Structure 1
């Protein structure tokens, strides 16, 4: 079945997705229709065979009854022709139904692609302007000044934000994962340093246990940073004032375990296995800080899975929640 008439040129790359969906839906509808036809044919055949038993044939006719004589071979041919005709009709009907059913999918994909195109355009320009202004300020402050250090960090933040936008666009438009590796210690330290800007005003501290040996993980640094930001932000959000978020790593064979634990009330009002569902949120009595929309942990799960890792709840509380992020190591580039 051809579905390109449903798609605009801007979503031509999504045509295979829509076509596969339409074909799968059409096949399912056709199989159901054929199964119903065959079931009906078997019922009819069974009834006819029952009527041709010796007892039924020797039974005298009642008033108003009519006796019909059928040839079994001709009956089987007729039923076969009926089944084949019904299957062809079911296939045509299934294609028409599938064409109509995938139209909302095609429209949704078109809106998604249009949003990504608009977002990439609208966000890139302000970031480029911001980067230019930061560079202008950097030129006014020589290296070594306290202001220059802050400006260096600000420009790095702009670069990271641009990389995140690029990564999001690639994630939506492509089916595969980006290749790359990351220095675990460097990404951990820089991410914890950045998140302290959020934790400190809320009375929360971040305690990072230094990585004992150099380790390289099998995913790009920007993806690792996204996972760590989501986990740290979640831990800060659920930590009480004066609490501490603890980050530790442990190598176990060809994988590394990154544990992030808070001192909050634990997971309340939701099953711990469901906290990674998109949009899932638990209860938090006495919540004082604004919370997210339940997307961060789902993002961590998706990214970890895409690169051969996983995320799980180690301890749901009540003395705090601990998450364990398991990621593959590039053994040839790791320390012993």
Structure 2
């Protein structure tokens, strides 16, 4: 199994970030859901028990003692104790018997279950609670309260109250399902959001990796030919098959070209990576263009400049390189094979540098991709126009190409102006 590529490792990191984000969010959602369900369960159970406690206390208040010292209970046929259904047990804790119970109870519970809860309350001398099901499938809450009539100090009986909690329990179950469904939906949403955030987080790394690979591809592509030519010249010189002066002259030209290529590659890579930040300052664009034209060897070609005084806010080194690249492109491609280039450069008061040539022009199908690397014709690296476009964008301007009235290509480099003299 081959080791993962750098891009593969970055994508794997994105998946891990997404998974970690999703798991963390899911754990938080589940924790909050569990707290909400528990709080609702405690709430409705507490409300039911509070109602039963009130009912039991009312029943205890209505107990009285007869002439023979026996506990008297109101007539259950009066219907006051039907709902919640109340049952009175009296006797010693180990021998409780039913003294009175509801005449028409709203719920029917197996007597054995009621008696078992009463025995448990009497044995512990404390309140006992339970939930049971009726034969017809209803859920019932049982509440048993032992009592000690004065002046005695032992349990003399137990009052058991029962009420139907089917609706309350069903509402709690529905709430639980709703919360579970909401958690599932929110988990899916957080997974999607986590994937988007992870993709955005690793995008700079992938972009930097792509830029690195593009730089290496550019360097290998563009340096292969001059490197092979240098090797051929060296082999020719060693064999003595050519004049040493001519070999050295050609070697110097190739080494100069390689130096320009390396410089161009590094500039473009730094511009793409954002490592080369323009140091903006006010400068005379017309003087800069005239200086670039003066420093560029014409080699028999004709270059004319019409410049209006204008001040722009730009990085002088980067802008000089962009203008120089446009001029080099016009001198290289702005003429017929074997002919002489005739280039006109115009500097307008709005900060636009126009470079016109009388060459074959740019085919319409190549206009869109002209500023990509390796899109220039033979004899150049194809980086000049790409760098010029990047410089224009870094200054908040633009570089476009149209057809020239002279039949060739017209390049327009626009740079924001500062002031007009």
How high is the TM-score relative to the length of structure 2? 0.40
Higher Cα Rg: structure 1 or 2? 2
Relative contact order, higher structure (CA 8 A, sep 6+): 1
More strand by share: 2
More helix by share: 1
